[in-house]
Amino acid sequence: MDVALIVSIVKERLGIRMAIRDGYLTYIVNGVVRELEDEKGIVLQPDNANHLMFCVDLATWRYQSRDSTGAMPRHLQYRLHNLIIHSGTGGATP
């Protein structure tokens, strides 16, 4: 995945125009991509808009909820489960 592209879209969603948060956002995005690939077993495809936007949405939520103890929103959980199933790691038969 193109981390720089994801960071730029996250910044647009958050309304951040300065580069002061780029380092922090880059760490969040790298963490999201690593988690999805290494822990969830999802093969992220850079040309898949669903994969790109899920990374953006998850990274945005992680940034905004950094001081919160709440669970992941249901819409993100639903999309994550769909990604796992569609990537073949959810035990689904082809």
- Measured distance CA(20)–CA(50) in Å, rounded: 28
Residue found by looking up tokens 């945005």 in the block: 60
Q: Is the pLDDT of residue 43 over 70?
A: yes
**Domain residue spans in the chain?**
3-86
pLDDT digits (tens, 9 = 90+) for 6-31: 999 999 999 999 999 999 999 999 99
In Å, what is the CA distance from 62 to each residue of 14, 85, 92, 93? 12, 23, 28, 32
67-76 pLDDT per residue, tens: 888 899 999 9
